[in-house]
Structure 1
Amino acid sequence: MNEGMMTQGERQMNFGPQSSEDRGQGLYYVHTLGCQMNVHDSERIAGVLEAQGYRPASQEQVEARDLDVMVLNTCAVRENASKRMYGTIGKWAHLKRLNPQAQIAVGGCMAQKDREQIARRAPWVDAVFGTKNIEVLPELLQQARVRQSSQVQVSDQLSLFPSDLPTVRTSKTSSWVSISVGCNNTCTFCIVPAVRGRERDRPIADVLAEVNRCVEAGAKEVTLLGQNVNSYGYSMGDRYAFPKLLRACGSIPGLERVRFTSPHPAAFTDEVIEAMAQTPNVMHQLHMPLQSGSDRILRAMRRSYRKDRYLSVLSKVRQAMPDAQITSDIIVGFPGESEEDFQETLDVVEQVRFSSAYTFQYSPRPGTPAALMEQLPKELVQERFERLLALQERITQEGLDAFVGRDVEVMVSGQHGRRDENTHRMTGRERGGILVHVGVPEGKSELAVGDLVTCTVTESGKHFLVADPKPERGQTYVVQH
């Protein structure tokens, strides 16, 4: 799962308008670090708090630090995850000194991993709860008030699927739907199995029921979430469950777009490709982690595929869907990586031509096998990282430049584009997931959140497109409300 795939607006919890009297049990704020799964977990955190009478703080109240409960939903994937966590709760400690009645809670993957250590290092934190304990947060906050000490509850076993919890959706038109939790892989660099546990799948009927509820509530787009989303059903003995789910989503009235993340190359079958290609509302967008182009390094990473398998899958995807937008994750500087290994990665990137790639310098995560391996010099890793980044930036820009003059369908998210206050452009994503800032031609219909607008791309920027169509010149601007 990748945090780089989201804009800040897509990551951030929405704030509700509150009057000075409308505080309920207290005003809460949730700050999320990490991937889409964490963002979705934050929706559950908000849901369980509101079910107990808490109210979301408004943007103005957050900026004024007028808060009763501050929740940090943490990530453990990167080396600086611990620094980010302690840095944030350190700043919040100052706010608590100003308002001793305010409470601080820490959840997510770092809480699952470090549990008691957080309470020892940051005794001003009132509650620490794990990825499998979201539902206990209100109880922990109450216990902390009574006992005047940090309360910790972190379970290793999942007793309640998160999707059974109340939810406060961050968007009215786009919804996350979790279809599985946990991971059965044993990648030597990854901490996720340790903090998320073994893979567990939801029954397909439960998933479809939630998707239908999202659509009934106004969602036009759903993203299916799983650590290895395309191995959905394997734990239930049905290796065809994921393509069945995609096809079933195609028959839900009012569901305009279906996306999913993140798949694993080893389990990406021909049936999944066919379901993507043949189901009209399944977007031709694919985030397929590569990690390395070297078979030797993939073996050391304990990734269950090799370069040829990876390239074969993407070749089949592009044969079935020539317009597919493919993104990836790549790790630079894994222990033992030689210049030859790195060159193989560059060769794959040049060959595949990813729309974008989220590139990371390898950082050891305590508790993983790779952390015990001999590490490469940081200067060498940095030099390779810069070479890879330059290559991918060139490829990404060439891909964006190719959109100029083409018509795209954009679902409006409601966010104004950067530096677009004067033009009043609205922001959304085209079918392949690329960010597009859309301007409204003079005299034409204004855009609203959830609208689908078909428009001509007039400019390519750095990681985004601009559509300022002029119909009088034959350019397209058609809005579907």
Structure 2
Amino acid sequence: MNEEQRLASAQVNQPKPSNNKTEKDYSKYFEKVFTAPSLKDAKKRGKEEVKYHKDFAVDEQFLKMGEGRKFYIRTYGCQMNEHDTEVMAGIFMQLGYEPTEEIEKADVVLLNTCAIRENAENKVFGELGFLVKYKRKNPEMIIGVCGCMSQEESVVNKILKKYPHVDMIFGTHNIHRLPNILKEAYMSKEMVIEVWSKEGDVIENLPKQRLGSIKAWVNIMYGCDKFCTYCIVPYTRGKERSRRPEEIIAEVRELAAQGYQEIMLLGQNVNAYGKDFTDIEYRLGDLMDELSKIDIPRIRFTTSHPRDFDDHLIKVLAKGGNLLEHIHLPVQSGSNEVLKIMARKYTREHFLDLVARIKAAIPDVALTTDIIVGYPNETEEQFQETLDLYRKVGFEMAFTYIYSPREGTPAAKMVDNVPEDVKKERLHRLNAVVGEYSKAALKKLEGEVVEVLVEGSSKKRDDVLAGYTRKNKLVNFEGPVELVGEIVKVKVLEAKSYSLRGEFLEIVKR
């Protein structure tokens, strides 16, 4: 770690607090170590701050650290967190650790956390309390908290005050420092905290222990510069910074050679890819065009922001092939007034025009979205505009949420003036519309033959296989286990509320 990083980071050995200490005792500590999320400060993002490293390797001094030891990682949140877990698992494996799915057998337990909603944070704190009993049985167990929650001052303060059995805390920007942090945790009797407020660098050649052999995640960029007023991501994940295209292409080619059937390209704002390049004009459309030439059956991407969805990307996606006709396009609200308060920087009309352009180029596209209800000051009329937009677009599925304030965001300072019962009632009405359109989209497929990537057995029956269509529809059908990992043709027999029941026909020949 260079001097700049040291000045912008927090790596300390903090004495584990006794129960009689108060939060006030840590105020001086946080004055120097952490900076509370600031919209004004966070927007001051210089391009010179991010460095690109291609030479990551675990230092030889750490290679036998994990011999005879096991690790357990519990992951909360989005695909990005899942992918971070794959990287940390890869590092653990290089250190000599073995994975375990049983907490009581683990020598290191990590909670990889999500900060997007209050409910996710509450689950983590509940799990931390639950882990006390394992720590009592095995005082040598190392318990760590990482991920997005670790980047929040209030969260770290709460852990210091209420969860003294935690041994280490580290943030989203310094996962590659895991060996160093582990060593410090083993050697010290104090809580080890390393949370960098500096923007994360782009580090290639990180090891990965993939969670499966059929579908793989590939990060193409990190961070977000959009600063929607409700969202903590720009603070916990930092500025937008893109991987070089040659590195991404090489990774996808390697995954194709290993037999992976589907790739999901990841980014907090994935279609802002390449905007930070200063030496080349290269955007997500260019990357998708090159990836379409690789011999891998399916390529998806998430998550998009409507502001960065350009016509060139639409033109490339319209070519089809291994670029799938499913696009997740979060709208969040159908009201211009609410969109303005959210700082989404587009209007209802702009969104509908984008949808029209996408549908004109890709007539059979399946669109899905995210929607928040009960935003501060949202009126019944504004909520009705959201329902109206949903029907106009004809989304085939949506992730729907009740507004939850996140400390440190501008929205958290707004008066949360929509009563809880009103929020729940609006969510119920929205979900009724979501269910109606989802069922209608599935109903159209009855009698049709669809291609399904078989991922394994269904949740309810071992003799029933499950997989997803190109448009991300869940299909269950009876078939031999040998079909797992194959793309097969299935005739749809019945449309249910959120899935399809089908009959296996044949394996798709490539």
Displacement of 1:159: 4.9
- Determine which of 41, 44, 54 is the counterpart of 2:84: 41
Displacement of 1:324: 1.3
Consecutive unaligned residues in structure 2, runs of 5 or more: 1-65
CA distance in 2, matches of 1:132, 1:227: 14
In the alignment, what sits opposite 1:477? 506
Q: Deviations over 1:268-294 (max 9, x none)?
A: 111111111114111111110010000
CA contact (8 A) 1:119 1:128 kept: no
In the alignment, what sits opposite 1:383? 425
Q: Is 1:221 aligned with 2:221? A: no
- Determine which of 215, 240, 248 is the counterpart of 2:290: 248
In the alignment, what sits opposite 1:463? 498
When structure 1 is superposed on structure 2, of 261-270 and 456-465 the one drifting more is 456-465
CA contact (8 A) 1:116 1:152 kept: no
CA distance in 2, matches of 1:457, 1:134: 44
Distance 1:250 1:479, change over 3 A: closer
Displacement of 1:480: 4.1
Q: How does 1:339-358 map to 2 (within 5 A)?
A: 339-358=380-399
Distance 1:162 1:377, change over 3 A: farther
Q: Deviations over 1:310-357 (max 9, x none)?
A: 111111212222221111000001101111110100001111121110
In the alignment, what sits opposite 2:370? 329
Q: Deviations over 1:164-216 (max 9, x none)?
A: 31111111121111111011111110000011111101111111111112222
Q: Deviations over 1:81-108 (max 9, x none)?
A: 3211110111112111122222211110
Q: TM-score, normalised by structure 1?
A: 0.88
Aligned residue pairs total: 441
In the alignment, what sits opposite 2:135? 96
Q: TM-score, normalised by structure 2?
A: 0.83
CA distance in 1, matches of 2:498, 2:145: 33
Q: Which amino acid aligns with 2:122?
A: K
Greater RCO (CA < 8 Å, at least 6 residues apart): 2
In the alignment, what sits opposite 1:275? 316
CA distance in 1, matches of 2:509, 2:106: 40
Distance 1:303 1:95, change over 3 A: same
CA distance in 1, matches of 2:483, 2:212: 13
CA distance in 1, matches of 2:84, 2:168: 16
Q: Partner of 2:143: helix, strand, or coil? A: strand
Q: How does 1:387-402 map to 2 (within 5 A)?
A: 387-402=429-444
Displacement of 1:74: 0.3
CA contact (8 A) 1:293 1:345 kept: yes
In the alignment, what sits opposite 1:257? 298
Distance 1:318 1:34, change over 3 A: same
In the alignment, what sits opposite 1:454? 489
Q: Partner of 1:28: helix, strand, or coil? A: strand
- Root-mean-square deviation (CA), in Å? 1.7
Q: Is 1:319 aligned with 2:360? A: yes
Q: Which amino acid aligns with 1:385?
A: L
CA distance in 2, matches of 1:162, 1:82: 28
In the alignment, what sits opposite 2:125? 86
CA distance in 1, matches of 2:434, 2:209: 37
Distance 1:163 1:285, change over 3 A: farther
Q: Percent identity?
A: 38
In the alignment, what sits opposite 1:109? 148
Consecutive unaligned residues in structure 1, runs of 5 or more: 1-22, 470-475
CA contact (8 A) 1:232 1:239 kept: no
Q: Partner of 2:313: helix, strand, or coil? A: helix
Distance 1:193 1:219, change over 3 A: same
- Determine which of 51, 75, 78 is the counterpart of 1:32: 75
In the alignment, what sits opposite 1:307? 348
Q: Partner of 1:234: helix, strand, or coil? A: coil
Q: Deviations over 1:30-55 (max 9, x none)?
A: 11100111111111111111111111
Displacement of 1:120: 3.2
Q: Which amino acid aligns with 2:82?
A: V
Q: Which amino acid aligns with 1:79?
A: E
Q: Is 1:68 aligned with 2:107? A: yes
CA distance in 2, matches of 1:298, 1:239: 30
CA distance in 1, matches of 2:208, 2:90: 4
In the alignment, what sits opposite 2:98? 55
In the alignment, what sits opposite 1:8? none
In the alignment, what sits opposite 2:445? 403
In the alignment, what sits opposite 2:43? none
Displacement of 1:117: 3.7
Q: Which amino acid aligns with 1:306?
A: T
Q: Which amino acid aligns with 2:240?
A: E
Distance 1:93 1:446, change over 3 A: closer
Q: Which amino acid aligns with 2:362?
A: M
In the alignment, what sits opposite 1:18? none
